[in-house]
Amino acid sequence: MNALKYLINLLFLPCALLLWQPAQAQILTVGVDDSALSLPEGFLSSLEQCLPYNGEKPLRRDNVAANTLFLIDGMQDGLCGLHITGITNSSVEIHQDCALPADVAKAYAHALQRFIDKNYSPRWHKQYIKKDSNYQAALKIMSDTKYCKFYRKEIDNTENIRKNLPACRAAQQTEITSGMEISRQIIGLKNGLCEYRFTAQKTDEIDHVMLKNVPPTTQSKFSDDVYLSYTCALTEKQSEYYLLILESETVPAEEGYDYAAIWHISQREELDFLRENCVFKVKR
C-alpha cells in the first residue's frame, strides 16, 4: 500500500518545474531543479552584438524533461529580435518575444552576465536575488512592454472528453506527462450509466518536437510494469460533477509575465473522485 501511495503521489502532483524566479519570467529558462541560472554557450555574447543565434538548453531530471530555445534574429529595422521559448513534458509552454534597440540588448546582456557570475541558487539565495542590482536591471528591461511580450499557451488535456461526457458519447484522449501515459476513455452508455475508464502507465515517449534533444532518462521513478486503472459506471449527477473537475484542471492561455496559474495544476481532486466512485485495479 505504501508503494501504491508513492506512485499516486508522483503521478498526480505537479511536475517539478522551475521557471527561473517563477513569478518573474523576464529571465526565462525552464529547469528541473534549483540550480543556478545557466544559459547556452554563446548566447549572451551574440545578444551583446545582436548577432544571429540559435541555441537551446535541454535538461532532464528523472522523468521530468525541459528545454529552453533561444533565437536571435539579428538587427532588423534598427531593432534586435529576441525569441525565447520554454517547454516541459508536463504541458507548459511559454514564449518571450522582444524587439530591443541595440544599446538595450547590450545592456541586458551585460546585466545578465554579471548576475550569472554570482551563481545564485533560486532555492538558497532568494533574498539576495530580488535585491541584486543586475537582476533588477535585467528585470526592468524585460518587463518593459515597449520591448517584450510574454505568452503562455493554454493547458488543456481533456477537451475531447469534456465535449463528449454530457451525452456519454464514445471518446478517448491520451496525455503524455513526466514519464507517464494517462488515458481517459468514455466507453458509452450501459443500463443508463456512463461507462468510463482512466488508466496510467509508464512511458519513455516524449510527444513534443521541441523536446527531442532532451537526454533520455537514466533513472525513472516508475518501474516498467507500473500500471493503474479506474473503471467507472457514472450516474448523470456523477458525470456532471466529474466534468466540473476536468474543467478546473484546464489553465487558460495568458499574456503578460506573471505565470502563477501554472503552479496550481493538480489532478488530486480527479484522483479523489475516481477513488470514491470507481473500481480500482493496479495490474493489467
How does 123-136 read in b/e, with b if 16+ C-beta sit within 10 Å? eeeeeebeebebbe
pLDDT, position 73: 95
Greatest mean pLDDT among 109-123, 176-190, 249-263 lies in: 176-190
**What is the C-alpha to C-alpha distance for residues 269 and 280, in angstroms, rounded to an integer?**
16
Of residues 156 and 79, the one with the higher pLDDT is 79
* pLDDT score recorded for residue 273: 92
What single letter denotes the amino acid at residue 89? Answer: N
Helical axes 268-277 vs 2-12, angle rounded to 10°: 130
Give me 148's grid cell: 517584450
User: According to DSSP H, which parts of 37-152 are helical?
Assistant: 43-49, 102-117, 126-131, 133-142
218, HSE (Cβ side, Cα atoms, 13 Å): 3
| pLDDT exceeds cutoff 90 at 39 | no
- Mean residue pLDDT across the chain: 79
Q: Which amino acid is present at 4?
A: L
Q: Where are the domains of the chain?
A: 15-152, 159-250+265-281
User: What confidence score (pLDDT) does residue 277 get?
Assistant: 95
Q: For 152-159, what is the mean pLDDT?
A: 86
User: Where is 251: in which H helix or E strand?
Assistant: none
Banded pLDDT at 70 (limits 50, 70, 90)? very high
Q: Is the pLDDT of residue 159 over 90?
A: yes
**Over residues 220-243, mean pLDDT:** 84
Looking at residues 235-257, what average pLDDT do you find? 87
pTM beyond 0.85, yes or no: no
Contact criterion met (CB below 8 Å) for 147 and 250: no
For the ranges 10-19, 21-30, 49-58, 103-112, the lowest mean pLDDT is seen at: 10-19
CA atoms within 13 A on the CB side of 62: 14
Is the CB of residue 30 less than 8 Å from the CB of residue 66? yes
Picking from 43-52, 81-90, 210-219, which range would have the lowest pLDDT averaged per residue? Answer: 210-219
d(CA 67, CA 71): 13
Nearest to 230 by CA among 266, 199, 208: 199
Q: Is pLDDT of 156 > 90? A: no
pLDDT digits (tens, 9 = 90+) for 190-229: 999 999 999 988 776 666 666 677 666 665 555 566 788 8
